[in-house]
Every structure is written in C-alpha cells, then in structure tokens.
Amino acid sequence: MSAAILIDTRDNVATAIMRLKKDDAVSLKAENREISVRILQEIPAGHKFAIRNIRKEEPVIKYGEIIGLATCEIHQGEHVHVHNIEGLRGRGDKK
Amino acid sequence: MNFQGYPRQNGTIGIRNHVLIFPTVICSSEVARMISQAVPGTVHVTHPHGCGHLGVEKEHIIRTMVGFCSNPNVAAVLLVGNGCELISTEVLAGELKKNRKRFEIVNVQDEGGTTAAVEKGKRLAEMLKQEAQKAKRVSCSISDLIVGVKCGGSDTLSGLTANPAVGYAADLVVSSGGTVLMSEVPEMLGAEHVLARRARNRETAERILQMTSAMEKKILEMGVDIRGTEPSPGNIEGGLSTLEEKSLGAVLKGGSTAVQQVVQYAERPSEKGLVIMDGPALDAVVNTGMVAAGVQIIVFTTGRGTPLGSPVAPVIKVSSSTQLYQKMKDNIDVNAGGIADGSENLISIGEKIFHEILEVASGKLTRSEILGHSEFAIHNIGPAV
C-alpha cells in the first residue's frame, strides 16, 4: 500500500492517504512513471504535497487539470494548501 | 437488470410507497406535522414557503412542490393548506391532477381551526394509507430509474475514492438504460470544460457553460471571496484547497458518459442517460430539487460525514475513508475507503454501489431511512414580500 496517490501523470501534487512525517520517503506511481519524494514537513492525511518544485504563479495540477496558482515558490515535498496556492474562480474580491 | 418497484397510474415506477402529508404554506406546516404524527406510516415535510413569492420565484416554488408531491415514491398526497395563501391547495391540486397523482385536501380555515383540520386530515390520511397498501411490487427495468448523485461534506479522498466509485456505478446505471441526475452547479466551476467536452451536442455544451457562467456571475456580483464558503471550512480542514479542486473531484460522481440534457431545478428529465440539473450546492436543497425532478433514489458521498436524508427517497451514503466509516457507521451504507488503502478498487466498490442501488430500489432500507432523516429545503431565488 502506497502512502500517497498520484492521480494523473501531468500532476505536480500528490495526495497523502495517511499522515506523513518530515523525512518520510514516499514512492508514487502513475502509469509507467515511478518517483520518490522526501517529505519536508508533516502532511495530514488527505492533504497534498508537491512532487516537484513549483514556481510562484505556476499552475498547480491535480486530476491533470489546473486547481489554482502557487502564491509563492513551493519545494518538492512541501505541504500544498490554502497557505501557498489560491483558486481563481468565484473570486468576487478580486474584481 | 431489474428491480422490484411499484407501477403508478401515470406510468412512473416508485421504489417506496409513501403517503405524504404536504403543507402548501408555512401557516399549515404544523398542522401537517400533527396529522402525520397521528397516522403512523405517513411521512411529512415542514417548510417556510407558500406565500410572498413573486414572478419566477413563485413558478420555481410551485414547480418544486408539485414535482416533490408527484415523485413516483409517493403513492398519495394529503395537501394541507391554510386558506388565504398564494400557493393554495387548489393551485397544487390542479397540477397534481395533470400528473395523475392521487391526492386529498384539507384547509385549516375551511375546517374551523387546527383541531378540526387535524381530525379531518387524520381520516383522509388513514384512507389514503389503506388505498396505498394495495400496491404490490413487480419486476421493473432500470430504465425506469432516475438515480441522483450528490456529494456533501467532501474531503480530498472524496475525489479519489467515493466520487469515482459512484461514477463507476453511474456508468452502469446509464449502460443499463437508466438515468443519472447530477447537480451542484457552484461545484462545477473549474470543471465545466470537462462536462462540456462530454455533452452530446453543441447546444447541450453551451447550456452547461451558460449555467456555470451565470452562477459565477451571481457570485462575482456579490463582490466577495468565495473561499471559506467554497471550499467550506470542513472541506479545507479535510485538505481541499480551492473550488477548482473540489469541482474536479465532485464531477467524477457523474461517471464518464455523455451529458444528454440540462434541466432546470426540479424539472423532470425527458432524456435517459446522464442529465445535469441547474441549481445551488446546498445539500438538502439539492436533494429536494432532485426528488422534485423525479429521482427515486440518491447516492450521496461524504468525506466529513453528513447525516441528511429525504422524506420520500432513500439516500445511500458512501464514505470516502474507512476512518469516517468507523466513526459514523450509523449513517454510512457503503464504505469506499478500501480504495485508498488498496484493499478494494474503483471497480469492486463501484459494482457494490450499483448492487446496493438495485437492492435499495427493491425495498432494502438505507441508514438515513432507518434513522428517520427527512430533511426538506427549497432555496428562495427572489425577494420575499
């Protein structure tokens, strides 16, 4: 059983299916691709982490689709959530 | 594939045989409750509507009430009015007659008050109950089923386990000739292109995109940040970061077949296959609109745990994780958590959900029915006057 799920080969984030600790090495599979990611901080179960470095304002990809933009640089193995990515839809505050 | 259902005189098939005590207005809601509680075996709703509706909202509320009372799971309806309201028993009775639905009427003002109205209502409800008991289940085809799919209290596992497994079951319903109804338009923002790509023709694709952009326009006009409401605080705690992420996981519950039609809130689909209903995302409002559109059964995924049911339609709850299943076993019918830990897969859980749909359609009670969950809500779309 893998500790995390990578949904689509285009994704730059994976989802932890159990709580991950700092320095855990997680191996991920999607189709023929297999990668290993060292976790940089605690990731709660169900939360996401970067599987490669993501630049500021780069799209964050899950399900092979854009789920938002990075608001700062995100490193491989870092927790990806509301503190470092933002959605672009329904943002009446941005008008 | 067949199930055992109740054929109705208007050609629809019920999977339950309810006598529904339905107030047409808030003023008679408590009287409806008193009648229902005095006649065991009947179901009822209470609601704050029936007066003060203008224009399109008036049509929207009437369409929802008529659709709800006309649901195939309802054998007969006792309409309970007050007497001076906008949406009177007469208004709803005219529509139920067109739908060939068995009904009776009691009005509080005509009977001379609560006590007399409850007495008359009890007699009528007993009579409708005795009539309904004559109905017998017969073998029916899945093509007579409209299955609603819904998610509520989602976490990130919802989009990885429960939603795609329900999507697999939805595809089986469609390939067996049945209909699947999916709604929650705010939770299509960011995933509308996926649905539009699957539309059966250009007109349907355009309707999907019009519906989502109209919903987004309404949100933007409020000048607020949708985050914190969508995703909700519980969604965010569960790991969902953006509305787009929530939407992409949410639409998986509709499966992978072509979108055949877009209907308005509480409108009965005229096509078979996957159909999308316009409307908001609030759970009880969606369930009510889907039941009013003719859905006999709802499959509802949850990651955080949602107890909601419906007064007339069984709701099958699918948990996204084994952790939730163990925590809220009382409310969950099928656990999709095994997909995450590798003990099950999308196909094995998808097939389990499909078989559960057939068993529940044939009479097996869901957890929400056993617990007595019967939430009912219609959203107001205009100013109340």
| Residues in B 322-341 with any Cβ partner in A closer than 8 A | 323, 340-341
Contact A92 B219 (CB under 8 A): yes
Instruction: Give contacts of B327 with chain A, Cβ < 8 Å.
Output: none
Q: Contact at 8 Å (CB) between B316 and B169? A: no
- The sheet carrying B315-319 orders its strands as B259-263, B273-277, B179-182, B146-151, B297-302, B315-319, B334-335
- Cβ of B190 within 8 Å of Cβ of A87? The answer is yes
Q: Could you read off the pLDDT of A23-59 as tens digits, one per residue?
A: 999 999 877 778 899 999 999 999 999 999 999 999 9
Partner A, chain B 124-143, Cβ-Cβ below 8 Å = none
A86 at B interface, C-beta within 8 A: yes
Q: Is B341 within 8 Å of A68 when comparing Cβ atoms?
A: no
On chain A, the residues whose CB falls within 8 A of the CB of B342 are 1-2
* Residues of chain B positioned with their CB less than 8 A from the CB of A44: 239
- Pick from B365, B383, B381, B361: nearest CA to B373: B365
* CA distance to partner chain A, nearest, from residue B202 (Å): 22
Q: Which of B209, B222, B225, B245 best tests the A interface by mutation, with the highest count of A CBs <10 A?
A: B245
Q: What is the DSSP letter of A53?
A: -
- Render each residue's pLDDT in chain B as its tens digit; 385 residues: 899 999 999 999 999 999 999 999 999 999 999 999 999 999 999 999 999 999 999 999 999 999 999 999 999 999 999 999 999 999 999 999 999 999 999 999 999 999 999 999 999 999 999 999 999 999 999 999 999 999 998 888 999 999 999 999 999 999 999 999 999 999 999 999 999 999 999 999 999 999 999 999 988 888 887 877 888 898 899 899 999 999 999 999 999 999 999 999 999 999 999 999 999 999 999 999 999 999 999 999 999 999 999 999 999 999 999 999 999 999 999 999 999 988 999 999 999 999 999 999 999 999 999 999 999 999 988 887 8
CB proximity list for A23: less than 8 A, separation 6 or greater: A38, A39
Tell me the fold of A4-94. 2.30.130
B189: phi then psi, degrees, rounded to nearest 5: -65, 120
Measured between CA atoms, the residue of chain A closest to residue B189 is A89
Q: Whose structure tokens read 């169900």?
A: A46
Distances (CA, A) of B356 to B119, B240, B308, B316, B360: 40, 28, 18, 8, 6
H/E segment holding residue B356: helix B346-361
Q: Which of B227, B244, B249 sits opposite A66 (nearest CB)?
A: B244
Contact between residue B240 and residue B155 where contact means Cβ atoms under 8 Å apart: yes
Q: What is the pLDDT of residue A95?
A: 61
For residue B231, cis peptide bond before it (omega within 30 degrees of 0)? yes
List the single residue in A with minimal CA-CA distance to B213. Answer: A90
Q: Which residues of A touch B323 (CB under 8 A)?
A: 45
Give this complex's ipTM.
0.95
User: Which residues, in sequence order, are CB contacts of B178 under 8 Å at separation 6+?
Assistant: B142, B143, B144, B145, B146, B147, B272
What is the pTM (predicted TM-score) of this model? 0.94
CA of A12 vs chain B CAs: smallest distance (Å): 13
CB–CB of B224 and A93 under 8 A?
Answer: yes
Proportion of chain A in helix, strand, coil states, percent, rounded to 5: 5, 40, 55
Say if the Cβ atoms of B241 and A68 lie within 8 Å: yes
- For residues B367 and B332, the answer to whether their CB atoms sit within 8 Å is yes
Enumerate residues 57 to 76 of chain A having a beta carbon within 8 A of any beta carbon in chain B: 60, 62-63, 65-68
DSSP letter assigned to residue B366? P
> Which residues does residue B273 pair with via DSSP β-bridges, in sequence order?
B179
CA distance B335 to B349: 8
Domains of chain A, residue spans: 4-94
Q: How far is Cα B88 from Cα A95, in angstroms, rounded to an integer?
A: 44
* Residue A91, strand partner residues: B225
Distance of CA A61 to the CA centre of its chain: 8
Contacts with B300 (C-beta within 8 Å, 6 or more apart), sequence order: B149, B150, B151, B152, B283, B287, B306, B308, B315, B316, B317, B318
Q: Name, in order, each residue with C-beta under 8 angstroms of B194's C-beta and a sequence gap of 6 or more.
A: A65, B248, B251
